[in-house]
């Protein structure tokens, strides 16, 4: 037992810690109910792959994960990653914003040790609950040498996904987390099967470091549609955002009536980042809008919620639109 790798499970809540009134409640239940000690005690099989200890960091549903939660969690992950007696870290998390937290950690925690974020679509009280196997998979990946240096990982539905690429794509099925670039591998019965590795900068190769980040700047998102008005854009400008993500139609196209409002924001020093509401593909510079002329940035293949995370992290340091665009290509 002592020879097994030590994996710390940081629990933050979500459905993986949820409980429903009856086993038939797969969708109607309360998230963030079961404490980490009970989660781990209910899964003695974890002892086959690791020596596991648990910490309750928060007990919340992930739709309420604030920037303060991100900072607190990342600082704890960073501190643990520097401990010689810790081999890997697992974060249990609600699935609604799991992709944002995984990407945030991927950008700011300077380590090569495995970090795995995991959630579930059904509470542990439900028929065919998926949390137990997802957590077993997460711990076994976090305990593996071969998971080191691959950035923050996400395990659900037997897949090992890159925390950068993965998104929640279905809100009711257990097969909910997908990446348009495909999973990195699969985890089956405590063994990892790898098929690809991330090429974007992450963790130990990042220029960002949670140990040097005091706070995150305000970055918000406006949603594009044909009849959109400029009320939201103007309000965010007045509120003092440092960057605004435009979740545009198609290839990040922007309604004609919204363009002057976004240009006015940019003239006031706000970074304008052109993303897309289309789930897959990527936004090209100077297609649909003249980004060079307007001094705008494109979000590359990042969905608006992920572009928001990268923009916040990037803008913890001074950036002009060129350096911000460089960061969007590299991370």
Contact residues toward ligand ASN (CB under 6 A) are 14-15, 31, 61-63, 94-96, 119, 121
**Choice between 76 and 168, CB closer to ligand ASN:** 168
**Given the complex with ligand ASN, which of 15 and 81 has the nearer CB atom?**
15
The pairing of strands 297-298 and 271-276 is parallel
Closest CB to ligand ASN among 61 and 115? 61
Q: How far is the CB of 12 from ligand ASN (least distance, A)?
A: 9
> Which is nearer to ligand ASN, 89 or 121 (by Cβ)?
121
Instruction: From the candidates 12, 15, 97, 101, give the one annotated as an active-site residue.
Output: 15
| Residue 237 contacts residue 270 (beta carbons within 8 Å) | yes
CA 308 to chain centre: 11
Enclosing H/E stretch for 137: helix 131-142
Question: In whole angstroms, how close is the CB of 129 to ligand ASN at the nearest point?
Answer: 11
Tell which residue, 330, 320, 308, 328, has the closest CA to residue 70: 308
- Residue 61 or 142 with smaller CB distance to ligand ASN: 61
Q: How far is the CB of 58 from ligand ASN (least distance, A)?
A: 11
Q: Which of 12, 92, 95, 203 is labelled catalytic? A: 95
What is the largest distance, in Å, between two alpha-carbon atoms of the chain? 65
Reported residue count of the chain is 331
Kindly list the distances between the CA atom of residue 84 and the CA atoms of 2, 51, 54, in Å, as whole numbers in the listed order.
15, 14, 17
166 vs 118: CA distance, rounded Å: 12
CB-nearer residue toward ligand ASN: 137 or 288: 137
Report in angstroms how near the CB of residue 51 gets to ligand ASN at its nearest: 27
Compute the least distance from the CB of residue 302 to ligand ASN, in Å: 20
Q: Is 112 a catalytic residue?
A: no
Residue nearest ligand ASN, CB atom distance: 94
**Which residues does 267 contact at the CB level (< 8 Å), separation at least 6?**
none
**DSSP, residue by residue, 39-99:** HHHT-GGGGGT-EEEEEEEEEE-GGG--HHHHHHHHHHHHHHHT-TT--EEEEE--SSSHH
Question: Cβ closer to ligand ASN: 224 or 304?
Answer: 304
Q: What's the closest the beta carbon of residue 63 comes to ligand ASN, in angstroms?
A: 5
* DSSP E strand boundaries for the chain: 6-13, 51-60, 88-92, 115-118, 153-156, 159-162, 167-168, 177-178, 185-188, 191-194, 219-223, 243-248, 271-276, 297-298
CB of 91 to ligand ASN, least distance (A): 13
Active site annotation includes 15: yes
In sign, the C-alpha dihedral spanning 266, 207, 287, 235 is negative
- Residue 328 CB burial class (10 angstroms; 0-12, 13-18, ≥19): buried
Catalytic sites, residue numbers? 15, 95
């Amino acid at each position: 037992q002592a020879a097994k790798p030590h994996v710390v499970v940081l629990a933050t809540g979500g459905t993986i810690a949820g409980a429903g009134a009856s086993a038939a409640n797969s969708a109607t239940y309360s998230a963030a109910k079961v404490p980490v000690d009970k989660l781990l005690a209910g899964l003695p099989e974890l002892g086959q792959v690791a020596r596991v200890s648990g910490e309750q960091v928060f007990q919340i549903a992930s739709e309420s994960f604030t920037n303060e939660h991100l900072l607190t969690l990342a600082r704890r992950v960073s501190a643990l990653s520097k401990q010689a007696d810790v081999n890997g870290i697992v974060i249990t998390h609600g699935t609604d914003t799991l992709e944002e937290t995984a990407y945030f950690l991927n950008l700011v925690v300077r380590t090569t040790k495995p970090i795995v974020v995991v959630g579930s679509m059904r509470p542990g009280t439900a028929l065919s609950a998926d949390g137990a196997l997802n957590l077993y998979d997460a711990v076994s990946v976090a305990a593996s040498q071969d998971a080191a240096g691959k950035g923050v990982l996400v395990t659900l539905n037997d897949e090992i996904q890159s925390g950068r690429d993965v998104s929640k794509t279905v809100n009711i099925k257990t097969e909910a987390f997908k990446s348009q670039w495909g999973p990195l591998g699969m985890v089956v019965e405590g063994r990892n099967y790898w098929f690809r590795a991330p090429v974007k900068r992450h963790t130990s190769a990042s220029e960002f470091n949670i140990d040097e980040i005091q706070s995150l700047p305000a970055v918000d998102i406006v949603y594009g549609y044909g009849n959109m008005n400029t009320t939201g854009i103007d309000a965010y400008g007045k509120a003092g955002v440092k960057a605004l993500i435009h979740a545009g139609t198609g290839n990040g196209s922007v309604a004609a009536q919204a363009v002057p409002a976004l240009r006015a924001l940019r003239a006031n020093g706000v970074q304008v980042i052109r993303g897309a509401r289309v789930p897959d593909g990527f936004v090209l510079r100077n297609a649909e809008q003249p980004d060079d002329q307007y001094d705008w940035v494109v979000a590359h293949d990042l969905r608006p919620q992920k572009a928001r995370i990268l923009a916040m992290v990037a803008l913890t340091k001074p950036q002009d639109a060129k350096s911000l665009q460089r960061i969007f290509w590299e991370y």
